[in-house]
Amino acid sequence: MLFRNLCSLVLWLSLAFAQDVPVAFTGGRVIPIAGPEIPDGVVVIEKGKIVAAGPSASIRIPANARRQDVRGKTVMPGLIDSHSHIGGIDGGDSSAPIQPEVRVLDSLDVRDARIQKAQAGGITVVNVMPGSGHLLSGQTLYLKLRDGRTVYDLLMPGADGKPLGGIKMANGTNSRRNAPFPGTRAKSAALVREEYVKAQEYRDKIHKANGDTSKLPARDLRLEALVEVLDRKRVVHHHTHRHDDILTVLRIAKEFNIRVVLHHVSDGWKVAEELGAAKAMCSIIVLDSPGGKEEAKDVSFATGGALEKAGALVGFHTDDGITDSRLFLRSPALAVRAGMSREKALFGVTMANAMMLGLEDRVGSLEAGKDADLVILSGDPLSVYTKVLETWVDGAKVFDRADPKDRLYATGGFGASHDQGPEIFYVEEFE
C-alpha cells in the first residue's frame, strides 16, 4: 500500500516535469546502441518517452516539436551504472555476515552531491548498493537520477509497485573477518548455502500452507528477501575478484538456480572460458593500476575484451567512490584500449547494464517506446576531450553544463561536494 502511494507520487512528479511539447534533437551523431551509429540523426522525445530515433532523412519531426540543434554533438542513451555507492547509503552493520532484511531504501540521502555529480557524468540509472564487507550486506536500489526532493522521487517501481532492486553479496577477502563473520572461503560458502536452504524450507512452508493463515510461518524479513532471490525475482549482485571465488559464485548460483550478476570480476580473464560458457553477466571495474588489495592484484584493462571474446555479457560500473561517476565513459574507453570492441564497450555502459538490472525493456537504448533518458556529448564518447553537455531523464533535463550551478558539479571546485540545499525545488536563485 505504502509503495502504491509512492508510485503515484512518482507518477505525479514525472508528469509534472515531463515536457509539454515534443523535443527533437536534430543533426547530431546518434548512437542508438540498438543499431549502428547514425552520422546525421534525429531523436524525438515526448511525455518522457522516446518516440523516434533514426537518420534525419527518415524521421518525421512533429510540427509542434521544439527543435534542439545538436549538430557536431553526439546523442546516446543515458548511461547505466550497475554498481555505485552514491547517496551516502549504508547497509548491514557489523553484527552478522548475512543481513538480507537491510534495505538501501532506508538510508539514502537524496541530497548527496554525488547524485548531482553522477548526473553530470551522464548517468541516468544507477544500482545503489551497500558495501562488500558482508557475505550479504542488504537490498540494493535501482534509481532513476531525476532531480529529487525525497528518495521516492528517484525510485523505479516494478509491476507490483515495489521499488526495484537486487541484493548485494560478496565473497573473497572483504567479508572475511572475526566471528560471527567467516574466517575462510569454504566457511563463507557454507554460511551462504545454509541460508539458502533455510529460505527454501521457509518457502516450502508457505506453499504447504496454501493460503491457510493458521499454517503460515511467522513472517521473516530475512527469509522473505531470500525467497525473492530463490524465485529469481531479485537478482544477486555479487562482489567477486579472484578466479576461484568467481567460480564459487557460479557454482552456488547453479545449485540454487539463482540469477546472479558478477561484479568487479578482476580475475575474469583467467576464467573467461567458463564465464563465456555460463553466459555469465559480468559487471566489471576498470582501475588505473593493479592491486590495492590482494584479490585485485591482477585486475586488467583487458578483462572486458577477454570476456567479450568468450561470449559473456560485459557491463561496466563505477563503484563510485572507487571511480568517479563523472568519468564513467573512461572505463569502456580503457577497455577498448586493451582490445574490446567499441560497439560492445558502449553496449557495456548502456544495454548490458540494463539487462543485468532487468530493465532492458525500459532503458539502455534509443528506441521508440523507451524512457527518454539520454545524454548529449560534445564529441566522441571514448575521447578524453569529450564533455557531457546535457543529461535528460524521463524527458526532463537534469544536467546542463551551460548552467553554472550544474557546471560546478561537473568540474568540481568550492561547494561541489556540499549536499544539495533546498533550492533544487523551491528557490530559483539561491546564491
Partner 1 sequence: MRISFSFLTGMLALCSAAAAQIAVVGGTVHTSAGAPITNGVVLVRNGKIESVGPASSVRIPTGYRTVKAAVVTPGLIDAHSVVGLSGYLNQPHDQDQREVSAPIQPDLRAMDAYNARERLVEWVRGFGVTTVHTGHGPGALISGQTMIVKTREEPVARSVLVPEAMLAVTIGDSARVQQGKSPGTRAKMLAMLRSELLKAQDYARKRQKDDSSQARDLRLDVLRRVLNRELPLLVTAQRARDILSALRLAEEFNIRVVLDGAAEAPLVIEEVKRAGVPVIVHPAMYRSSGETENLSFETAAKLHQAGIPLALQSGFEAYVPKTRVVLFEAAVAAANGLGPRAALDSITIGAARILGIDKRAGSLEPGKDADIALYDGNPFEYTTHCTGVMIDGELVSEELH
Do residues 127 and 140 lie in contact, with contact meaning Cβ atoms separated by under 8 Å?
Answer: yes
Distance of CA 252 to the CA centre of its chain: 23
Cβ count within 10 A of residue 50: 22
CA distances from 38 to 32, 53, 68, 276, 425 (A): 8, 10, 17, 30, 37
- Tell me the three state secondary structure of residue 217: coil
Q: Which is nearer to partner 1, 385 or 426 (CB)?
A: 385
Give the x/- contact pattern for partner 1 in 363-382, rule: CB under 8 A: -------------------x
CA pair distance 5, 169, nearest whole angstrom: 30
The piece of 3-11, 134-142, 272-280, 383-391 that touches partner 1 (CB under 8 A) is 383-391
- Give me the least distance between CB of 423 and partner 1, in Å please: 19
Q: What is the DSSP letter of 157?
A: B
- Give me the least distance between CB of 286 and partner 1, in Å please: 10
Scanning residues 409 to 428, which ones bind partner 1 (CB under 8 A)?
A: 411-418
Scanning residues 299 to 358, which ones bind partner 1 (CB under 8 A)?
A: 299, 321-322, 324, 327, 330, 333-334, 336-337
C-alpha cell at 190: 557454507
CA distances from 254 to 81, 184, 230, 242, 276 (A): 26, 22, 11, 19, 15
Q: Which is nearer to partner 1, 85 or 370 (CB)?
A: 85
- Give me the least distance between CB of 386 and partner 1, in Å please: 8
CA pair distance 127, 104, nearest whole angstrom: 10
Q: For 33-112, where are the alpha helices, taking DSSP H only?
A: none
Scanning residues 243 to 302, which ones bind partner 1 (CB under 8 A)?
A: 287-294, 296-297, 299
Q: Which is nearer to partner 1, 203 or 344 (CB)?
A: 344
Residue count, binding to partner 1 (CB under 8 A): 34
CA pair distance 143, 280, nearest whole angstrom: 24
- Give me the least distance between CB of 108 and partner 1, in Å please: 18
- Give me the least distance between CB of 123 and partner 1, in Å please: 16
- Give me the least distance between CB of 333 and partner 1, in Å please: 4
Q: Does 15 bind partner 1 (CB under 8 A)?
A: no
CA pair distance 107, 89, nearest whole angstrom: 5
Beta-sheet strands, E only, within 192-234: none
- Give me the least distance between CB of 245 and partner 1, in Å please: 17
Q: Does 96 bind partner 1 (CB under 8 A)?
A: no
Sites of contact with partner 1 (CB under 8 A) = 287-294, 296-297, 299, 321-322, 324, 327, 330, 333-334, 336-337, 382-387, 411-418
